[in-house]
Amino acid sequence: MRTADFELESNPKVIPSPLAVKAPKPVKLSPAPITRPKVQGFVSVGDLDSRPRLLNRPSTRYPTALLRRGVRSGTVILEVGISMSGRVNVRKVISSSHPELTKMATSFASRARFSVPRKDGEPVNAIYRWPMTLQPPK
């Protein structure tokens, strides 16, 4: 069996001990506030003092093509702007269960009137996702 030969240095190098590193203090993170999407110049209906009330029900015609096919109900969701005077401006169609109902819904919405939307007591323009269930008259 062979043994290793070694010599000690007369001036051994001193190896510094590792530096003590302090762990960083934990940072308290608070969750970001929940914000509704903002549309320039509009306040979300959820941020108003109260939800605007529909003041009229414009007449519309249920599509005869749907009646012939036996479709007695459908849903359309619109994004509308409600002005400070309660007038409605259809901004876009979010969804429609039947394409034939889109024209009926946009016609109804564009002639509808709401109570004045208010934030902190002041009239404002509001943005609203308006779900509509449309049916023929009974």
Please check whether residue 31 lies inside any domain of the structure. no
Its pTM stands at: 0.67
Question: Which residues does residue 113 pair with via DSSP β-bridges, in sequence order?
Answer: 87
**CA–CA gap between residue 28 and residue 30 (Å, rounded):** 6
Contact 36, 46 (CB under 8 A): yes
Q: What is the pLDDT of residue 34?
A: 54
Domain count, the chain: 1
Please check whether residue 3 lies inside any domain of the structure. no
For 101-127, the pLDDT digits (tens) are: 999 999 999 999 999 999 999 999 999
For 45-67, the pLDDT digits (tens) are: 999 999 999 999 898 899 999 99
**CA–CA gap between residue 34 and residue 29 (Å, rounded):** 15
Please check whether residue 88 lies inside any domain of the structure. yes
CATH of the domain at 51: 3.30.2420.10
Domain encompassing residue 111: 43-133
Please check whether residue 20 lies inside any domain of the structure. no
Contact 102, 76 (CB under 8 A): yes
Q: What is the pLDDT of residue 137?
A: 84
